[in-house]
Amino acid sequence: MPNLLRGRLNSGVGHFFCSPLMFPYESNYVCHFFRLWGNLEAASRVAPKYSLLGNMQNDFDAKFGDVCGDANNRFFLIEFKRSRKGFSEEVSKPGGKIHRIALYEHLRLDATCRQIARQGHFGCYPSSSGSLVFEPYAHCPAAIKTKIQIVTEVLLKPAFASINELDHQAWECGFPKFYEQITDYDSTISDNFPGFFENGLGITSEHLKTYVSCMYDHLQTAVDPSGVAILGAFNRQANTFVAFNDTIENIFLRLQSAFNSSKEGATSLPGGPIGVQPGEA
């Protein structure tokens, strides 16, 4: 039996579409994510009601990451990489993205932004078997260690050295768990952590705005020919500076209108036979 088929028969719904094949581009994983998401929506026989923006063809990519999502006003951002080590490369000098290095250094220091990031900004990469793995973005650069390694490290640490949460992996999960964490909970706000949802992953629109501002604060500045400083991000692959001639308010409004038009366009139920029925997997 070919490897691909065997993988499919032996695994649960989370690995339903996953093959041991590794894709060559990040965008392949983005498309894979959309396919898995659509599959679970179809399986639950609900009309597509959430708004997912793939940023391959808009200018949000360099600002926010590859995918922005809005599930009943529960917002999230996802950055895709071909491997987990891509995340540490992105925030390491030299060779990393300058604005991402700045954001990462900031998240190490700012507990509030770090908490927002942990709930709303995710990294996604393939496991060795090719299924998607999710982790909080800011924790992705941390080395994966065993509990014993972490305890030993903490015990051996000099008393004056502080421990940073971002030096450790927070959690990781596969696609079904991620989908459940985003879509299964109501929008009750936590008493203990005001501004955050009581359950599940994702952040409020207020926190999204805070976080987008935070990301915007860590973009680079270049000076245009007339001497005006402009914010943007340097794209190393294309060797170009992508300028954002926009205010944070405008960017946020455009993001919201993109979410809304995506919702308006997705009102019909998926038709035809559906492979996986609820409860069957």
Residues forming contacts to Zn ion in the complex (CB under 5 A) are 113, 214
Q: Which is nearer to Zn ion, 78 or 214 (CB)?
A: 214
Residue 55: CB minimum distance to Zn ion, A: 21
| Amino acid letter, 108 | R
> Which residue's CB is nearer to Zn ion, number 105 or number 224?
105
Q: How far is the CB of 110 from Zn ion (least distance, A)?
A: 5
> In this structure, are residues 22 and 126 in contact, taking their beta carbons and an 8 Å threshold?
yes
The DSSP-derived string for 153-170 is HHHHS-TTSPPPGGGS--
Kindly tell me which of 214 and 255 has the beta carbon lying closer to Zn ion: 214
Q: How far is the CB of 42 from Zn ion (least distance, A)?
A: 38
Q: Which is nearer to Zn ion, 113 or 182 (CB)?
A: 113
Nearest distance from C-beta of residue 76 to Zn ion, angstroms: 17
Closer to Zn ion by Cβ: residue 87 or 216: 216
Cβ contacts of residue 268 below 8 Å, gap of 6+? 47
Q: Which amino acid is at 279?
A: G
The tokens describing 145, both together, are 């260690």
CA-CA distance, 77 to 90, in Å (whole number)? 16
Which pairs with CB-CB distance under 8 Å and at least 24 residues apart come from 35-42?
A: 36/132, 36/175, 36/179, 37/179, 38/270, 39/275, 39/276, 40/13, 40/176, 40/179, 41/270, 42/270, 42/274, 42/275, 42/276
Q: Is residue 165 within 8 Å of 114, Cβ to Cβ?
A: yes
Smallest distance from the beta carbon of 214 to Zn ion, in angstroms?
Answer: 3
Dig out the tokens for 197 from the structure: 């949802």
CA dist 270 and 281 (Å) reads 19
CB of 111 to Zn ion, least distance (A): 10
CB nearer to Zn ion: give 214 or 231: 214
